[in-house]
Amino acid sequence: MARFFKNRSAVQGKSPGELIFIGRQKVDSVKIRMIQYDESFIEETAGDTLAEVLKNRKEECITWLDITGLHDTETIAAVGAEFRIHSLTLEDIINTGQRPKVEEFDQYISIIVKMMRLETSDEKIHSEQLAIIMGENYVITFQERPGDVFDPVRERLRAMKGRSRRSGSDYLAYALLDTIFDNYLILIERLGEQIESIEPMLLDNPGAEIISLINEYRRELHFLRASIRPARDAIRDFSRLESDIISPSTFIFLRDLNDLATQADEAMETYREMLKDQLDSYSATSGNRLNEIIKFLTVFSAIFIPLSLLAGIYGTNFAHVPEFQLRYGYYFFWGFLVVVATIMIIFFKRKKWL
C-alpha cells in the first residue's frame, strides 16, 4: 500500500458524509475516557459506551472526551448526534487518510492532525490521525489506537499545575496541539542528528551504503513533511480564526504554536537541503576518486607498455638480430628499459599526473 495514502479506493462511490472506517482496525473495542474539571474540581470517568460515560457529565465543567478506536462507526455517530457534529466532520474523523486541517463550524472547530511519536521499543516513528473537536465547553479527541502523547497534559490537569485548570476548552485544545508539535520537533531533532552525523563520513572513503542512508532520510523527511506542513498551514488558519470559542488570551498561545510549526518546517527544509548537498558532495568525491584511480591505471600502464614492447621485440626469433650477439646486449637491454621508464616518469611528472 502506498505509504502516503490510506486506501482511498475504499470510499470510492460512497456518498460524502457517509461513515466508512478507513484504515486498519487497531483496537478490539472502543475505549472512552472523560475528564471533567473546573478550577476546584476534577473527575475522570472511563467506559466502553458513550451513554455510560456521558450520563454523569456536568455541563458547567470543561469536558475532555477522549475516544480511542475509530472502527466502531456507531459510537462515532452517537458522539456526532450528541454534540451535533456535521456529517462531513464525522467522515473526516474516521477516514484516517485526511490531510491535516482546521475547519470552523457554527458550534465547534474541528482540527485534524497527525500524532507522531518515536516508539522507544523499536526506534520507529509511529503515526496516527488525531481529530480534535473543540466546542464551547468541551474538547473531544478521536485516536486510532491506545497510547498517546497526552499524559503530561493529564498530569498537569490533575496537579492543578500551570494555567490548564483555570482556562477554557480552547486552552485545552492548545495544550494538546502544543504537545503534538513538541513531538514533531523532537522527531526532527533526532533525524537531524543522524543527518548531521553523515557529514564526517563523507570525508572518509564512503561506499554505496551512504547513498541508501541519505535516501532513507530523504524518505523519512518526505513522510514527516507530508504530515507537518499541512499541520502548519492548519495552525496558521487556526490562529487567524475569529471564533467566539477562542478567548483573546489564548491567541498569544496560538501565535506561539504557529512559531513552533514554522520552526519545524524550516528545520525540515534545511535538512532536506543538507541531504541534497551531501549527495552532491558524495558524487563529486566519487568522481574525484574515479579520476585518481584512472590516473593511476593510466600512468602505471603507460610506463610498462613500452617496456613490454621492447621485451617482445627482443623475444623475436629472427635469425639475424645483431643485438643478440653483443657481449653485453642483455645489460644494454636492461639499461634501455630503465631509460625508457625514466623518460615516461619524467613525462608524467611534467604533466602533473604523478
Site for a copy of itself in 276-295 (CB under 8 A): 277-291, 293-295
Which residues, 218 to 257, sit near a copy of itself by CB under 8 A? Answer: 218-219, 222, 225-226, 229-230, 252-253, 255-256
Cell of 171: 486552552
All cell numbers assigned to 47 = 467506559
Candidates 75, 141, 164, 250: give the one binding a copy of itself (CB under 8 A).
164
**Residue 316 is a binding residue for a copy of itself (CB under 8 A):** yes
Longest dimension (CA), the chain: 121
Give CA–CA dist 86/231, Å, rounded: 21
Q: According to CB under 8 A, which residues from 34 to 53 bind a copy of itself?
A: none
Per DSSP (E only), the strands in 23-137 are 31-37, 42-47, 62-68, 101-104, 108-119, 124-135
**Least distance between a copy of itself and beta carbon 222 (Å):** 6
Part in contact with a copy of itself (CB under 8 A); list of ranges 4-12, 23-31, 44-52, 134-142: 4-12
25 alpha carbon, distance to own chain's centre? 23
Phi-psi region of 237 (alpha: psi -120 to 50; beta: other; left: phi over 0): alpha
Residue with Cβ nearer a copy of itself (27 or 149)? 149
Least distance in angstroms from the C-beta of 168 to a copy of itself:
15
| CB closer to a copy of itself, 22 vs 53 | 22
**DSSP secondary structure string for all residues of 210-270:** HHHHHHHHHHHHHHHHHHHHHHHHHHHHHHH---TTS-HHHHHHHHHHHHHHHHHHHHHHH
Site for a copy of itself in 327-346 (CB under 8 A): 327-330, 333-334, 337
Question: Which lies closer to a copy of itself via its Cβ, residue 51 or residue 313?
Answer: 313
- Nearer to a copy of itself by Cβ, of 65 and 188: the residue is 188
User: Does residue 266 belong to the site contacting a copy of itself (CB under 8 A)?
Assistant: yes
Query: Taking CB under 8 A as the rule, does residue 320 contact a copy of itself?
Result: yes
| Binding test (CB under 8 A) with a copy of itself, winner from 26, 304, 345, 354 | 304
Q: How far is the CB of 76 from a copy of itself (least distance, A)?
A: 17
C-alpha cell at 152: 503530561
From the list 19-27, 44-52, 70-78, 302-310, the region that binds a copy of itself by CB under 8 A is 302-310
Yes or no: say if 100 and 234 are a contact pair by the CB < 8 Å rule.
yes
Question: Could you give the CA distance from residue 336 to residue 192 in angstroms, rounded to a whole number?
Answer: 62
CB 285, CB 198: distance < 8 Å: no
Cβ-Cβ contacts under 8 Å for 192 (sequence gap 6 or more): 267, 271
Which one, 69 or 181, has the nearer CB to a copy of itself?
Answer: 181
User: Does 147 sit near a copy of itself (CB under 8 A)?
Assistant: no
